[in-house]
Chain A
Amino acid sequence: MTLEHALPDGRLIEQTLAGDDAAFELLVRRHQKSVYRVAWAILRDDAEADSVTQDTFVQAFMHLRRFERRSALETWLTRIVVNRARDVLRQRQSLRARFLSWSGKDRDEKFMEPADDRPDAERDVLSAELSRSIDWAVGSLSARQQVIFRLRHDDGRSLEEIASILGLRAGTVRAHLFRALQKLRRDLREWAPASLPAGERT
């Protein structure tokens, strides 16, 4: 067993606070992948995820004394990375709003109607269209809703885990997600079976 695995986080934190830089490097090595994973799941961009991961560890290092150890270090780091990623999402939203007001467009493209009885290749194309439509619609959610939605779908976190990361109750997370879904419903209203009369859709 290497030293990296032998020492618990708490011990490495104490050593870091005592001025041992190597201890902090071990903490980074231990948690960098999980932090990056959350950043990437929310931002879906290598450069931004890398930058946010770095910010997270720098911020954690600077405030390590304030870490009260009521939760696991990983939870604390995840909370920091989620907050940093949310800031990036807010910047993106601002750019998006500016772009939309400048271009006068509500959407950048028209979507194809989904169908079911088509060959596999065409269905793949439709899946890609569906994916793009959902991505676009998710991009219009609030930063917090996006974080919750992406942690749920892209990172596969349970509602309870998300609640723990965000410091919220599971019911609150559920409510946020529900509101996000309501908004997605409006934005994705084109996505209904084309062959069905409108009255037969839910």
Chain B
Amino acid sequence: MKHFAETDFIEALSLDIVQPDLAGHLEECASCRSRFEAVERWQQSRREETARAIDGRSESDWAAQRKEIASRTFDSRNRFAAGRFLAPAAAALLIAVLGGTFWLDRASLEVAHPGPARLAATTAESEAAVALPSSDPWAADSLAGWQEAVDWETWLEETESGGAS
């Protein structure tokens, strides 16, 4: 007699198909029928365990799970919302910082190594400053404390010249 293995029974239960040769054999063979029933019990016990896992949880377990979900859900949303606002702001700030740094670097580079145009302009400005004659030699800073005397000297010259004329 051809007997069947446990895996044949599992296959029959998995695919919901009991082949005619298996069905016929189970009617005749008590040994295989007993083993088939053992596999059926195994499957039944698996389903009962699953059901117990749900029924065995108390309402407080479910409530705790909901609370945790709510906390995680709304945290995620807040992070998402904050990210939507903060990301452009952070990008703008980064651009500003980078732009500022670049501008400062460029400015300090120009001071250290002025370009030809800037160098020519600076030189011309310096030369102009040196070449400018003082319009009034009596107005020099070094004579600031002598202003009255200077004024008097000026007045004297004017008087003398006026008197001469």
Asked if A202 and B54 make an inter-chain contact with CB atoms under 8 angstroms apart, the answer reads no
Q: Are A54 and B68 touching (Cβ within 8 A)?
A: yes
Closest to B80 in A: A62
Residues of A within 8 A of B159 (CB): none
Question: Which partner residue on chain B sits nearest A186 by CB separation?
Answer: B7
Interface size on B, residues (CB 8 A): 44
- Chain A interface: which of B30-38, B89-97, B126-134, B144-152? B30-38
Cβ distance B79 to chain A, nearest Cβ, rounded Å: 10
Do the beta carbons of A53 and B77 come within 8 Å of each other? no
Among the listed B30, B42, B73, which residue makes an inter-chain contact with A24, where contact means beta carbons less than 8 Å apart? B73
**Within 8 Å of chain A (Cβ to Cβ): is B4?**
yes
Is B7 touching A114 in the complex (CB atoms < 8 A)?
Answer: no
Contact, CB under 8 Å: B38 / A202: no
Question: What residues of chain B lie closer than 8 Å to A174, measured between beta carbons?
Answer: 15
A130 and B6 in contact, given A41-B50, A58-B76 (Cβ under 8 angstroms): yes
A97 to chain B, nearest CB (A): 23
Q: In B95-113, which residues have CB < 8 Å from any A CB?
A: none
Alpha-carbon distance A57/B69, docked complex (angstroms): 7
The answer to whether B46 and A153 have CB atoms under 8 Å apart is: yes
Number of residues from A at the complex interface, CB < 8 A: 53
Q: Which A residues touch B122, using CB under 8 A?
A: none
Q: Check if A29 is an interface residue, CB within 8 A of chain B.
A: yes
A158 to B7 Cα, complex, angstroms: 19
Answer whether residue B153 sits at the interface, using C-beta atoms and an 8 A cutoff. no
Q: Are A201 and B3 neighbours in the complex by a CB distance under 8 Å?
A: yes
Q: Which of B15, B38, B65 contacts A130 (CB 8 A)?
A: B38
B residues with CB within 8 A of A: 1-8, 10-11, 13-16, 30-32, 34-35, 38-39, 41-43, 45-47, 49-50, 53-54, 57, 62, 65-66, 68-70, 72-74, 76-77, 80
- B-facing mask of A70-108, CB < 8 A → 1, else 0? 000000000000000000000000000000000000000
Question: Looking at the complex, which one of B4, B47, B54 makes contact with A154 (CB distance below 8 Å)?
Answer: B47
When distances are taken between beta carbons in the complex, the residues of chain A under 8 Å from B39 are 130
**Quick one: closest B residue to A61, CB to CB?**
B73
A6 to chain B, nearest CB (A): 19
CB distance from B82 to the nearest CB of A (A): 14
Q: Are A159 and B74 in contact (CB under 8 A)?
A: no
What distance in Å separates the Cβ of A85 from its nearest Cβ neighbour in chain B?
A: 13
CA distance A155 to B54 in the complex (A): 12
The answer to whether A32 and B3 have CB atoms under 8 Å apart is no
| B-contact 0/1 string along A48-74, CB 8 Å cutoff | 011001100110011000000000000
Whether A193 lies near B16 (C-beta < 8 A) is no
Besides A54-B65, A191-B7, 18 new A-B residue pairs in contact (Cβ under 8 A), listed by A number = A25-B66, A25-B70, A32-B62, A32-B69, A50-B65, A53-B69, A114-B35, A116-B34, A131-B42, A152-B14, A153-B14, A153-B43, A153-B47, A155-B50, A178-B15, A181-B11, A184-B10, A200-B3
